Structure 1
């Protein structure tokens, strides 16, 4: 990308930097992005919320959850 950010899959080192930056800066994605150095704020936010956030539940939905959809 023109601004120096990386496009494509995240490497393990970027994941580790993202986890550490979120611990330090929370969800201030501009600050997190500056700490990562290779991804923009939108990429950091998306990767965190879709892949790395420990609150993500990858288990199958329960019957109760299915009935609410």
Structure 2
């Protein structure tokens, strides 16, 4: 969605998105009474974070490609 980004911003986007999603997953899971669920919530948050970061950083526009025609 955000399109091509410089390498530093691309890496920063991944780190912030993953950190936020892992923290949010652990925080939401900690509201339950089961103590193991916080790590499961962090893992689920990491998976969701990877998906969200990919969707944010991937460019879905189909750009025209040059086609080379070889004639013999």
The normalised TM-score by structure 1 is 0.34
Structure number with the higher helix fraction is 2
Q: Which structure ranks higher in relative contact order (CA pairs < 8 Å, sequence separation ≥ 6)?
A: 2
Please report the TM-score for the alignment, with normalisation by the length of structure 2.
0.33
Bigger radius of gyration, 1 or 2? 2
